[in-house]
């Protein structure tokens, strides 16, 4: 991983470096996923419906509106999710609580893995419906390019979202580096200052004689018992 510290990020509150952020593999995968999702739902919305022989619009995928609806839905949600996770990645290093960081990483793992699966289902569904589409249903190949683009970028999206899942799992496996955080960051309570220990705290004025003893003055006159 590129980052160090708690779940792949540095110290909380560190300065944000946009150039280093753009160069991270996770950011590149998110941008690619964002572009691919935009191509999928944009192609279907713009050219994915034809009205051959009637005024009613039909989906180019074997006139199966469920295919167009599925591709549009997962593409649009993926588009919005990429924006959300990019913002979360930017703010991630500013999150001081380890528990909150863990929740963010687990959300990334769950969503990315689930969406990689949905893209796989979507690719198989769209490809199957496209194979069943006859030339009579698409005169002059209306919407053919849009259909091929949706299928192609659905296939690419499987790998980008799977890559995001792997990166999120790697961040989670890093666990936490407790040396980067005080007790205040963990449970929200102010840090407790430990009792100072170390060689500098040992007093130099050690006892040079046994305690509770008095130095006897040998020059003092002794007391003699009177004789009666």
Q: What pLDDT is recorded for position 107?
A: 95
Using DSSP's 3-state secondary structure scheme, residue 169 falls into helix
Q: What pLDDT does 88 receive?
A: 92
Q: Are 135 and 89 in contact (CB under 8 A)?
A: no
pLDDT at 142: 77
Q: Which residues pair with 59 in a beta bridge?
A: 49
pLDDT at residue 165 greater than cutoff 90: yes
pLDDT given for residue 18 in this prediction: 82
Instruction: Output phi, psi for 95, to 5 deg.
Output: -80, 115
Question: In the numeric block, which tokens belong to residue 9?
Answer: 């990020």
Helices 98-131 and 65-92: crossing angle in degrees, nearest 10, is 160
pLDDT of residue 183: 45
Over residues 181-202, the pLDDT tens digits come to: 444 444 445 445 555 555 555 5
pLDDT at 3 over 50: no
């Amino acid at each position: 991983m590129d980052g160090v510290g708690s779940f792949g990020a540095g110290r909380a509150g560190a300065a944000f470096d946009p150039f280093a952020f753009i160069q991270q593999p996770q950011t590149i995968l998110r941008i690619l996923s964002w572009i691919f999702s935009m191509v999928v739902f944009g192609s279907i919305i713009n050219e994915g419906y034809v009205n051959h022989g009637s005024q009613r619009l039909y989906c180019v995928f074997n006139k199966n509106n469920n295919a167009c609806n599925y591709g549009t839905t997962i593409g649009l949600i993926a588009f919005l999710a990429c924006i959300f996770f990019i913002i979360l990645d930017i703010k991630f290093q500013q999150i001081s609580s380890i528990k909150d960081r863990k929740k963010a990483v687990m959300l990334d793992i769950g969503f990315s893995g689930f969406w990689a699966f949905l893209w796989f289902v979507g690719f198989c569904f769209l490809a199957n419906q496209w194979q069943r589409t006859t030339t009579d249903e698409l005169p002059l190949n209306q919407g053919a390019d849009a259909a091929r683009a949706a299928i192609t970028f659905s296939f690419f999206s499987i790998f980008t979202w799977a890559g995001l899942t792997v990166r999120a799992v790697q961040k989670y496996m890093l666990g936490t580096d407790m040396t980067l955080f005080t007790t205040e960051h963990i449970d929200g309570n102010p840090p407790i200052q430990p009792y100072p220990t170390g060689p500098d705290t040992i007093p130099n004025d050690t006892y040079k004689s046994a305690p509770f003893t008095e130095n006897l003055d040998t020059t003092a006159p002794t007391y003699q018992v009177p004789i009666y």
